[in-house]
Structures are given as C-alpha cells and as structure tokens.
A and B are shown apart, each in its own frame.
Chain A
C-alpha cells in the first residue's frame, strides 16, 4: 500500500532560526493521524509545507504520489487553517459557495455539498447570517465546513477544535471517524492531549523535532505509563 503523505527529511528555517529539523513522517491512507505538540513547536509550519503553502528548506514532501507543491493536489486536500480565515462581511452560505466555485464544483453539486457540510457542523440554521455575527465556535465550525466543501480525499486540519465547546468537540470527532470510515485520510494537529487518544497514530512534536511516534497504545506500552501526557514529558526528556 502506498502511503498518502510521505515527508522525507524535511527541515525548515526562517532566517537563522531552525523551525523544523529533519522530519520524517508517513501518513497511511484511511487513518487519523495526530500531530501533538505545544504551540510554537512547528506543527503549523509542517502542515503548511504539506499543503504547499510553504516550501521546505531541505527535504521533500509527497502527497498521493505527487511532489508538493502541486495545484492539482490542492483539489484533493481539504485544509483548515489555524486562524479562521473567513469573509466576515459575507454570510456563511456565501463563504461556502465562494470556495465551492473555486474548487470548480457544478451548481447542483455545490448546493448538495453546502447542505452536507453545513449540516455536518450544525450550522444549517445560521447559513444566512453574516459571519461577523458568528460566535468563535461557529466560525471554527464554518472553517471546518469549508475544508470539506469539495469532498477531498485528505483532510488537513490545523487545531480544528480550539475554542469549541466539549459537546461540539465530541460531535466533530464523531464526524472525523465517519469521514475516516468513508476512506478519507485525516491529519489533525492539536495541543490537547486527550484528543491524542482519539487518533489512530500520532507523532509528538517539540521544538521542531518529532520526539516519538506510534499508536496511543504503543506509546503507552513503550514507556510503561498510562497517560499520553506523561509519554510526552518522558519522551521530551523531562523528569516527571
């Protein structure tokens, strides 16, 4: 089986500051892969490199067997940025319709996908409202809906559950499982350890390096501990 995302020896530096140091990572098709690490650890930079918004200083990235960056790949990747990048003077529906037409969806498909995505994130009732009147959580949900709009094979979600209440967080995770069952590959970043449990496999990132990776159970066995939080601290070389 061919891996969906392959990262080979990727390093990235901004000026003299090394942000990513020789990252090697593979994400298999149909799994939920978590990148766990504190803010500033380089998760977002790595995600941007995978999408093709940023280029690595060294190394290369392959997604679905094509080298990144590649315009055709973008059609197959649903990207949710860390900051809500939405047009606040447009309604939720107009935001969705705008991105749907950028992905060249036909009118009838557009309608279907907008309804599907809005339903998924529980925003159907608020589609006609302007985004500037949305709450923080609603904006986050709309961003997720935007990532799903073109029915992509791969979802790359940068901190999708920040600022979302526990109830909705659970429903988003349920949706991620459902999408996984449909055969989609999902890469999420988070700094919340309890979300790490929900991933099939995960990599722990600190200071631009992957300190350990594997399935949650593997990691816990490896270190002989029961909580991932402790794994993170141990792997990072910190004393408990």
Chain B
C-alpha cells in the first residue's frame, strides 16, 4: 500500500512535469533520427587529379566513382584550389600519389582504389600484350589460328548470416542506442527525483511515517519503471516503424531487456543521488558513471580491446545490455541466448537495491 501510494505520487509528479516527460519520451527519438540520417548518408565521391595518366586508367578510375580531373602540376595550391582529394602523377615508370588526407578514412579508401585501378590496368595491358604475342607466333606457324579466350574476372556470390548487403553501421548501432537512451534518461530522471526529495527534506518527512525503507526503494523502482516501459515501447516502435531499423527478433524481448536495463539505471541513479548535494553534482556523475558505458556497449568490438579493458567492460551494465540487444534486434536470437546477460543485469540491480535500502539508514536507523 505504501508502495502504491509512492507510485501514484510519482505518476502525479511526472505527468505534471512536461519537460521531464518530453526529455524521456521525445528526446531519444530526436537523437535516433539525427543519427539515422547522419550515418546513412552516402559517401561523397573522391576527386582525383591526374598527370600523364593513361586513358584506360582514367576509365577504370571513373568506374569506381572517382571524379577524375586532368591537372598540369602536382602542387599543394592546385590540390586545394580544385578541391581535390589527391593527385596521381606518372613520370616515366615512376608513379606518385599525393593525398590531401584531411579525412584519413577517405584518403585511405582513395589510395586503395587507385592501387586497384593501376593493378587492373596493368593486368589488361598484360592480357593485350599476351594475345598479340600469341597471334604473332601463331601467324608464323602453319595451320588454323586458334582463338584466344579472354579471361573474365570471376564474380563472387556473397551471402550474409546477419543482415544483408544493404546493412549499414547504424543497424548494428541502433540496438545499443535504444538501450542506452533508456539507461541514461531513466538514470537522470529518477536520480534527480530522489535527490530533490533529499534536499527538500521530504525524504526525511517520508521516513517519519511508518513506511519501510525498502518500500521507498521499491516504490521508486515501480513508479519510474512503468515510465521506462512506456519509453521503451515508444523508442523501439519509432525505431522500427519509422526509421526502419532492423528488428529481427521479438519486440517483446527488446522490451524485457530494456526494462532490466532501466531497473539497473533506476537503482544506480537513486543510489548515486545519495552522494550528491545538488542537481549539478548529480550531473557530474554523468561523465563518470554513464558516458563510459557507451564505449563498452558494443560500439567498439570487445575482442579488439586490451585485456584490462575487457575486464573493465565486464563491470559495465551497458556491456551486457548492449550485447543482448544486438543479439535480439540484429541477430534475431530468442530469450535463451540472452539469459546470461539478463541474469547479470538483474544481479547489478539487486546489489544496487540492497545498497539503497542500506543507504537510507542515514535518515532512519530502522
């Protein structure tokens, strides 16, 4: 009954606080939309200047979506004036490539394309040379000339276990983001709510009633947990229906994972509020307790981390949340595949809840 009274009060307060509600329900949609368009953007064609280049090479380069311009000189001024990403210069047998390198990733891609184009051109030249050489020999021999067969480049049939050829980075990133938003906003809103109770004295007033300490913690978990459920449903529905993000597994499994994540965020938020004296101090926990979670949520591959970083990753709730969400949303696994992750998350929540109940002893010993 005390728990329900607390839940009812939280509902009253949340529904009246339009800004907090908007932050929780609308802000994630805004960020997801922005990221969706940012990451789905097409790559801009590279612009390459050439000096003394063979026509065949220019054709090959153009086929790989490179805009080719003939230039007269290989200088920095020309590179910058003509807004080029690089200049390829042939002087006799020597080939030199100058790259602007203002965007290292694009520069590397251009370098690889140029190398491939030159290799392809050489191969073609070789083939032409070889067949004329053969014809030359055959014309000197008696009998019917044999037709040389041209070798075609083999086609590779690619198939994908997860996703398809149109899968982009955002498809793999979005499950992590969906979980992170729930984690972040629930942490912030519940943490600040309990902090406000501490600073205004209402928490102390609350503990002057016969309410049990654990009922306060459970009331908070349930009250804000219900908002977290609504938030998850809104965010996931929007991501799948509007942004067309890959969701292979079950929608409800995603809700279960996010709810577990929200439980961890809630209990962590209200626990950390015990160590803050103001809203600003609560915000100071974000770079320490929240931002690192993103890095370990699966955006960077776990396998490529240094050993001690892997240990660190395993201490982060978002690591388990992120991998469970990728498992369900991107790979389409069922609950069975994510049991371990869910159990670890519940373990985190349990520890934080117990610590919360103990931390309230500061206000009342029993």
Contact = CB atoms under 8 A, between A and B. Distances in A.
Interface of A: 51-53, 55, 69-72, 74-75, 77, 79, 81, 83-90, 94, 98-99, 101-104, 146
B205 A81 contact: yes
Contacts of B301: none
B204 interface: yes
A90 B211 contact: no
Contact of A85 (B9, B201, B210): B201
Given A69-B364, A70-B366, A86-B202, A102 B209 contact: yes
A58 to B, nearest CB: 15
Interface of B: 1-2, 4-5, 8-9, 12-13, 16-17, 200-202, 204-212, 363-366
Contacts of B204: 53, 81, 85
Given A75-B210, A81-B204, A103-B210, A52 B365 contact: yes
Tell me the dominant secondary structure on chain A's binding face: loop
A90 B210 contact: no
A53 B208 contact: yes
Q: Across chains A and B, which 5 residue pairs bring their CB atoms closest together, nearest first?
A: A85-B201, A85-B205, A101-B5, A102-B209, A79-B208
Contacts of A52: 364-366
Contact of A89 (B2, B17, B366): B17
A70 B210 CA distance: 9
A102 B210 contact: yes
Given A53-B363, A71-B212, A75-B210, A102 B5 contact: yes
Contacts of A70: 366
A230 B12 CA distance: 51
A94 B1 contact: no
Contacts of B9: 87, 90, 94, 98
A87 B364 CA distance: 20
Contacts of B363: 53
Given A51-B208, A83-B201, A98-B8, 11 more contacts: A69-B364, A69-B365, A69-B366, A75-B210, A87-B202, A89-B12, A90-B16, A94-B12, A98-B5, A101-B1, A101-B8
A99 B207 contact: no
